[in-house]
Structure 1
Amino acid sequence: MTTTLNTFEASWNEWHAERESYYSDPLGWVSLTGLYWLTEEFENIGDLPGRWRADEDFVYIDGLAVDKIEPIEGAPGILVEDGDRRIEVIRRTGSVALRVHDPKSPHLESFTGIPAYTPDEKWSVTGTFAPYPEAKIVTTGAVVEGLEHHHTAVGVIDFELGGEKQQFVAFGGKEGGLRVLFTDATSGVTTYPAARTLVVTDPDENGSVSLDFNRASNLPCSFTDYATCPVAPAENKLTVAVEAGEKDPRPASAS
């Protein structure tokens, strides 16, 4: 029993350390210092070099070696070098924005890690996945007003938590597997209000899956005002307080 517990805690500690390392990247999410939406007219954007404009297909830059970029809707941004900084060009819901990654960001300098609940095996539960006959698109809002996210929903997961029956709509993961976006009774209290995400194990031949809420993860928008993350679908609002996984790194009481 002790060996099992130690293995569980060691595995969680390794996962948590990897999460903190990811967010402390000098050009990662916490290094963001701005989000600027482009128009169809050339403009100077903050202290960035050149002038920028966008239409429905391309981004045009006047004054840089790169003069035209084609960002793809919903895809990872295209990076333009600016000394130590990186200008990330993204397209979201038809509009184009620039995000600035700066290794000298004051947000990065003050980053001290990701607060989290103490891991507890009681928050690791088994569920049953039932696939849809065909995948369908579920549209959610975003933390930026006016934006939308379109997710490929592949089925539902039924499970029990806190003595109550629960159900998630499950999305297909980018690299296979399942993932969910959810809120619960801690959202907006001790955890980030818009959503947390959870990677779910692949179902076995009987549809059984494992949901380890100790690894409920923050989205990038919990760390920065310059992300465009989705909010959780209404179907994935749990009726219990999931006191497990990552906490809000910027709680309202601290702002």
Structure 2
Amino acid sequence: MTTDTISPAIDPTGFVSDWEDWHAAHETQRAAADGFLAITGLHFLTTEPERFGDAPGAWSVDEVGPVVELAADEQLSLDGVELTGRHSFGAIAERDGVNARAGDAVIEIARRGGELIVRPRHPDTQFRAAYSGTPTYLPNPGWRVEARFLPFDPPRDVTVGAAVEGLQHVYSAPGELEFAHDGAPYHLTAFSGHAPGSLLVVFTDATSGLTTYAANRALTVAAPDAEGRTTLDFTRAVNLPCAYTDYATCPLPPAENRIPFAVEAGEKIPVARVAVTL
């Protein structure tokens, strides 16, 4: 895609400035003290209590949800309240979780792909300290593509793979996004986004595994207007946590979201990642 596709309504200078502000904020969030660059482990819970080197307590699951047993000299707090002895966190819904604290560390307790996990985050990790940013393509407004939202009736549950082998995610897909590239139509399945009405697209393209992360990238899409119009701003395609660490359970794109052409926009392969060594 070349710059001759830029809409006259887009001010290239303002576009680049806005993109730089957005990406700087995104990098700040990614490298936060409790962000995923600080993750030190991914622990799947079972009915058998187990201790982990990066979190206090012995962890297990009961008939309701995750449980921790704390020794007298172990400290853990939740919402500012110190926990002692045995504590049950109750039921946790899929893709939900709670954050406990152990000193400077955040202990994430969550459900992913039907499994209950503990995922500690320590701000003093070497990986976070050494992080120097993620390379990107230059922000080209030609990669802002008009799209039309086509709703599913009813919305569909879509099962996709995960960065962790054997794990699967089920996402609600309210519809698909139709757009054109070089005169040809394409369709991407869209999941429900975080903000009300917004959408999330997980995709790969012809750059994946070459200049961009092989498994996936993600794009947040603004809520469509009353006629279903919205924009795919591929310059804001970002890496998911699995591009940086093996301790992530990120979704893989559905088959229809494997774009056959090169999307030379957005974030590229990180310069480093945390790999699990056995």
**Same structural fold, with TM-score higher than 0.5 when normalized by the shorter chain:** yes
**Unaligned stretches of 5+ residues in structure 2:** 1-7, 72-83, 274-278
SS in 1 for 2:11: helix
- Residues 41-85 of structure 1, C-alpha deviations (whole Å, 9 max, x = no match): 122222432212113422222225162112513233222221111
1:211 aligns with 2:218: no
Q: How does 1:19-34 map to 2 (within 5 A)?
A: 19-34=26-41
1:243 corresponds in structure 2 to 264
Q: Post-superposition shift, 1:205? A: 3.3
Q: How does 1:59-208 map to 2 (within 5 A)?
A: 59-63=66-70, 65=84, 67-175=87-195, 176-208=197-229
Q: Post-superposition shift, 1:139? A: 0.8
Structure 2 Cα separation of the partners of residues 43 and 204 of structure 1: 50
Cα contact 2:244–2:272 (8 A) shared by 1 = no
SS in 2 for 1:190: coil
* Bigger mean CA offset, 154-163 vs 20-29: 154-163
Question: Number of aligned pairs?
Answer: 252
Structure 1 Cα separation of the partners of residues 22 and 54 of structure 2: 37
Q: Percent identity?
A: 41
Cα contact 2:94–2:114 (8 A) shared by 1 = no
Structure 2 Cα separation of the partners of residues 212 and 232 of structure 1: 18
Cα–Cα, structure 1 residues 239 and 47, in superposed 2: closer, same or farther, change >3 Å? Answer: closer
Q: Post-superposition shift, 1:197? A: 1.1
User: Normalized against structure 2, the TM-score is what?
Assistant: 0.84
* Bigger mean CA offset, 50-59 vs 206-215: 50-59
2:57 corresponds in structure 1 to 50
- Residues 70-120 of structure 1, C-alpha deviations (whole Å, 9 max, x = no match): 251323322222111121111223322211100101110111112110010
Q: Post-superposition shift, 1:10? A: 0.5
Structure 1 Cα separation of the partners of residues 59 and 221 of structure 2: 41
For 1:239, give the aligned amino acid.
Answer: P
User: Normalized against structure 1, the TM-score is what?
Assistant: 0.91
For 2:70, give the aligned amino acid.
Answer: G
Among residues 9, 24, 33, which one is paired with 2:16 in the alignment? 9
- Residues 100-159 of structure 1, C-alpha deviations (whole Å, 9 max, x = no match): 100101110111112110010111111222112211111111101121111111122211
Cα contact 2:134–2:271 (8 A) shared by 1 = no
Structure 2 Cα separation of the partners of residues 44 and 177 of structure 1: 39
